[in-house]
Amino acid sequence: MDLEFDARYDEFRAQVRDFLDKHRPTPFGGLASGKREDRVAWLSLLIEHGYWARTIPKEFGGYGAAPDLLETVIMDEEFNRAGVPRGMNAQGPAMLVPTLLNHGSDEQRRRWIGPTMRGEIIWCQGYSEPGSGSDLASLQTSASEDGDDFLINGQKIWTSTADVAQMCFLLVRTEPDAKKHEGISYILLPMDTPGIDVQPLQTMAGSIGENSFNQVFFSDVRVPRSNVVGHRGEGWKIANTTLKHERNSLNANAEGTLMRLARLMTEETINGVPAMASPIYRDRLMALQARAFSMKHHGMRMLTCSLKGEPPGVAGLIVKLQNCQLNFDMAALALDVMGELGALYDHSKYERERGYWQAHSIFSLGLIIGGGTAQIQKNIIAERGLGLPREPKPQKA
């Protein structure tokens, strides 16, 4: 263990603070509601200073620094303290970019990573289908060869941000005769290709938050075969690295949420007394803080594993399960602290933080389901992490 913050790190922290004092993002809102120029300007500025895409090589549009655990910790701490998002929480940077770094061709990396990190290109993840959610490998959307192209037919569902995305990373069945896990390819598809029909679905979040959930229909959608990432038929393996990144990125920022919750508890009063003065609420906050700290330091441990190229084992498999529930529980405390006013929504008078905590509660629940449900996570932990036997196959009737 070497966590000494020597003078170099003090200097780095001072730089980050100085940056945050000087620059605040023009609020660019979410992917759908926000202004593209504001988003791109802010993310480009972050990359220029090395606070985003920090370790991505320069030739692929990153800042090109060597990975450093303590720098990451310092950046996160300072951005959290300032209440400023460090980058963009979206599927492109969180999932596609790490996948391309691992499996993409140089041409694909050069073409897609920079614009994705700068927020110029928004991606959606085309994995789930109506009949294939937890059992993702049973997916049916097909890609059949047609000269140098594939022709895609089928349907995806629960596709977040498909209605605002320019690109989709898509799983399709290219080898219909292969075994279920071996016939899938991972392919990059422009969303303006003819034959794609995006149908929005309303979510339970109602009027608040980035409310973009869709069905996507494909009929004879033509895509060059060179858009496949990795090799044909390897899509399942590649998708699993993507999912791993999704699971590690989901709600990684428990500490920021916790700070926001602590702020709420000092401001909100009940019978004239700040919520923070209540031993009950304070105790719950401290219990959540202990969980948030443990997940933060666990994150440092996981980052170290990945820097050293060591497999994190079962310790890595629990991250998504624990973080998603932690986020749900933080929202639950916030809602309790706000009491009868915590339910206010839809721009109601007296609504706190524009309904942030109701939205956080609902979105955390969504993330307990999305990216592999809690139950699937537990199966993976038990089977891949602890070596327990797989559930028996169903008996044929």
Partner 1 sequence: MDFGLSEDQLLLEQTVRSFLADQVPIERVRELRDADCPNDRAIWTALAELGITGILVPEAQGGSALSLLDAALVSQALGHAATPAPFLSSAVMASVALREAGGSDAEAWLGGIASGEQVFGVAVTELFSVREEAGVRLDAGKLGGKVMMAIDAHGADFVLVVVDAETLAIVKTDAPGVGIERLPTVDATRCTAEVVLDGVTPEAVLQDAGRAIERMLQAGRIALAADALGACESMVEQAVAYAQVRRQFDRVIGSFQAVKHMCSEMIAEVEPTRSLLWYAAHSFDTLPDETPLLACHVLSHVSEIARDIASVATQVHGGIGWTDEQNLHFWFKRIATARHLLGGPEILRDQAARLQGYAPAA
Site string for partner 1, 163-202 (x = CB under 8 A): --------------------------------------xx
Interaction of residue 370 with partner 1, rule CB under 8 A: yes
Choose the contact partner of 368 out of ligand FAD, partner 1, none; CB within 5 to 8 A by kind: partner 1
CB of 250 to partner 1, least distance (A): 15
Residue type, 211: N
Residue 139, phi-psi category: left (phi > 0), alpha (psi -120 to 50), beta (remainder):
beta
Candidates 42-50, 121-129, 144-152, 341-349; binding stretch for ligand FAD (CB under 6 A): 121-129
* Of residues 9 and 217, the one with the C-beta less far from partner 1: 217
List 307's β-bridge partners, or say none.
none
| Six token digits for residue 387 | 């070596």
Q: Is the dihedral of CA 295, 98, 90, 54 positive or negative?
A: positive
Interaction of residue 235 with ligand FAD, rule CB under 6 A: no
Nearest residue to 90 (alpha-carbon basis) of 27, 158, 28, 30: 30
Q: Which of 129, 210, 246, 255 is catalytic?
A: 246
Answer for which of 174, 249, 251, 358 binds partner 1 (CB under 8 A) is: 358
CB of 367 to ligand FAD, least distance (A): 6
Interaction of residue 372 with ligand FAD, rule CB under 6 A: yes
**Measured CA angle at 268 (ends 267, 272), to 5 deg:** 105
Report which secondary-structure segment, H or E, holds 108: helix 106-117
State the Rg of the chain over Cα.
Answer: 22
What's the rounded Cα separation, in Å, for the pair 269 and 37? Answer: 39
CB of 85 to ligand FAD, least distance (A): 19
What's the rounded Cα separation, in Å, for the pair 55 and 39? Answer: 20
Answer for which of 102, 269, 375, 386 binds ligand FAD (CB under 6 A) is: 375
Annotated active-site residue 234? The verdict is no
Residue type, 305: C
How many residues form the binding site for partner 1 (CB under 8 A)? 53
Nearest residue to 253 (alpha-carbon basis) of 84, 65, 123, 64: 84
* Of residues 303 and 374, the one with the C-beta less far from ligand FAD: 374
Interaction of residue 366 with partner 1, rule CB under 8 A: yes
Compute how many other C-beta atoms are within 10 angstroms of the C-beta atom of residue 254.
22
What's the rounded Cα separation, in Å, for the pair 280 and 268? Answer: 15
* Of residues 114 and 366, the one with the C-beta less far from partner 1: 366
Candidates 17-25, 72-80, 142-150, 328-336; binding stretch for partner 1 (CB under 8 A): 328-336
Cβ contacts of 37 within 8 Å, gap of 6 or more: none
List 172's β-bridge partners, or say none.
185
Answer for which of 22, 271, 311, 389 binds partner 1 (CB under 8 A) is: 271
Answer for which of 40, 101, 262, 365 binds partner 1 (CB under 8 A) is: 365
Interaction of residue 206 with partner 1, rule CB under 8 A: yes
Cβ contacts of 54 within 8 Å, gap of 6 or more: 62, 63, 65, 67, 71, 72, 75
Candidates 18-26, 55-63, 98-106, 270-278; binding stretch for partner 1 (CB under 8 A): 270-278
Interaction of residue 128 with partner 1, rule CB under 8 A: yes
Q: Which position's Cβ is nearest ligand FAD?
A: 133
HSE, CB side, 13 Å, CA atoms: give it for residue 34: 21
What's the rounded Cα separation, in Å, for the pair 310 and 313? Answer: 9
Q: Which residues are known catalytic residues? A: 246
Residues that bind ligand FAD (CB under 6 A): 124-128, 133-134, 158-160, 366, 369-373, 375-376, 379
Residues that bind partner 1 (CB under 8 A): 128, 131-135, 138, 157-158, 201-204, 206, 213, 269-272, 278, 280-281, 328, 332, 335-336, 339-350, 358, 361, 365-366, 368-370, 373-375, 378-379, 391, 393-394
